[in-house]
Structure 1
Amino acid sequence: MLELKTTLPSLIRPYSEADIGKTVKHPSYRADLRKFSEKEYNKFVTLNTVRDWSQISWKDVGRPYEVKSYAKDRTDWEEKHKMEMDPHTSWTFFNKAFHEWFMKDVPEETDTAKKEFINSLRTFNTGEVKQALGSIVQLQLWNYVHRIQDGVWDPRGKRALFEGLDVQKPRILFLGAAEGYEAMQLGAMYPGAEIVMVDYDEYCRTNRFPDFPEHYPFLGENPSTGQHKVFYKNDFQIEYIVDDIRNLDFGREFDIVLSVGLLEHFPDEYKHEVADWHRRFLKKGGYAVMTTPRKQIRSKIYYRIMADVMNHTYRELMTVKQMGLYMYESGFDILKHGYIKVHNGLVCRPR
């Protein structure tokens, strides 16, 4: 494993096929071009633990865990306006907060935070000490989850979940696209894809997607040789739409409808509507591909420590069985299901 401590060279495409098999830590993320053998597969994804979804009930699987520790920005806003924060505002707050963390030079900011903590000790001001220590804890946790474990993007785990789809040059619709990572990973795995990204927060189109690093490498397939190939953001055909999903006028024209971290933001009375968003745009035989954050102790701790970054919206943590049961009851057959480092994943198709 290599660690890059200096800034990138001006070269926009710093990796080539000669670098396949390598992983490099950059100041704000990890690049991972490592493959995995069939023997190593279960290191990255645990698949298909349910044989018959018709035999699963809510009594068996329990209910999702609702995250209730909201960000201070949200609670301050609600106190000021004397009302519950509306969904559009909460997503705007979340996207800006989350994006700021994606852009951080983590080693540099960690050094700064440690210096600020030492300075706060000299003031004997309890509030300053607590704030400075909290910044260090958040940075160390983000560094571990995103740069060391690569748990947010998780390219090897996502590739394991996404592989095996019977598509060629697919049309891909990404609902709630944010920076668009997973659609680009699918585009690398299924070359020639036409990608449509949709998010109803303008900030995602103007900041999160444009700021996604052009030098980030995606490991995909070369259809002319059958070998692996390195792709970059600018290799993909992408249209980015800012709109409410309910306003989209597409027909059943997509081979893949994708969402990442969407279903868990809606209480039960709206989950059938979220499922229908995936159904209404799919061609016959198309795939709905979805992930949600896993219900596990580490995730609960993460969302508590990172509350000011993550928790502006309604959010649940689910098991893969809970996630799959929502979709099965909404009229989907679960073709493939499993969990990776911090996410559940489904590949399903309308019945």
Structure 2
Amino acid sequence: MTEQNNSGRNPEDRSASPLLRQRQATAAAPLPSPPLPTTSAPATAITPAHAAAGASSPCPWPNRAATQRLTLPRGTSWKESTNSAAAAGEQSSRVHWGQAMASAGGFGGLSLLLALSLCSALASTVHGEAPRRFWIEDDAFWKDGAPFQIVGGDVHYFRIVPEYWKDRLLRAKALGLNTIQTYVPWNLHEPEPQSWEFKGFADIESYLRLAQELEMLVMLRVGPYICGEWDLGGFPPWLLTIEPALKLRSSDATYLSLVERWWRVLLPKVAPLLYENGGPIIMVQIENEFGSFGDDKNYLHYLVQLARRYLGNDIVLYAVSLLIIFTTYYCLLNLLLIL
């Protein structure tokens, strides 16, 4: 019986795969297997599109409607088939694995779900470590597929001489912290208009990499206003010399253009150090305690869009409200009075 692939062409035209040629030559007699509860549906042929997808992915997704169970060519063991594919090189093995997934019929009673799980495991092996990811779901933090508890504290790189950075981070880790928070003061990195400083106290990239080396995560607070008991909340003083006067922390067009210029320098340095990119940064804070200052939602929306432009859509952005801080202090004070 002649198989037809999804594009209507005879699968015998697929001459690039030795595994498939072998299957075509021996498919008349299926591989013996334990009794199965149902009759296997006809296997789905591999289209050129499937093979092309295999070049970039170790597991092209099979046609769910046509694929029921997995089989191998008669007389060929699963180990022999995978070894044969691996011998043809990494790219060829990816294609063969995807073809075996999509074109097989029944494999010792394994369900398709189990087979796809094995394929997913192979994908992680081919590409190295499993994808890194941090997110919030169901009022909980999740890291790499498991719930995660943040035990954090602030260690500001710009308040410590670089020679002591490692010592202070190790002390924080010894206290049980797994996450460090730090502000990024604009006035430290741009003391004069378009005069950028990222050395010594201002070498934020080295600080973040050191945190990663010590297996500490980072919550980065990029402002542009940081408060932090720092001069002018981290704003460069030359902002006050601009005429007409800027309306800071607002949708003022001139102010926003200067924020964009600053973040256009800072955020590309930060992006490679995001957790998903192999770095330590799991979250990025926008502004600081803005709720006690104003209600310009357009300003906050602009900052979010600007951050997404450079950091992508997967990074967790957050804000800090003074209402939460005051509520926490109030509860603690009442607890102390009760005790």
What TM-score, normalized by structure 1, do the two folds share?
Answer: 0.25
Kindly indicate which of the two structures has a greater share of residues assigned to helix. 2
Q: Which has the larger radius of gyration?
A: 2
Kindly indicate which of the two structures has a greater share of residues assigned to strand. 1
Which gives a bigger RCO, structure 1 or 2 (Cα 8 Å, sep 6+)?
Answer: 1
What TM-score, normalized by structure 2, do the two folds share?
Answer: 0.26
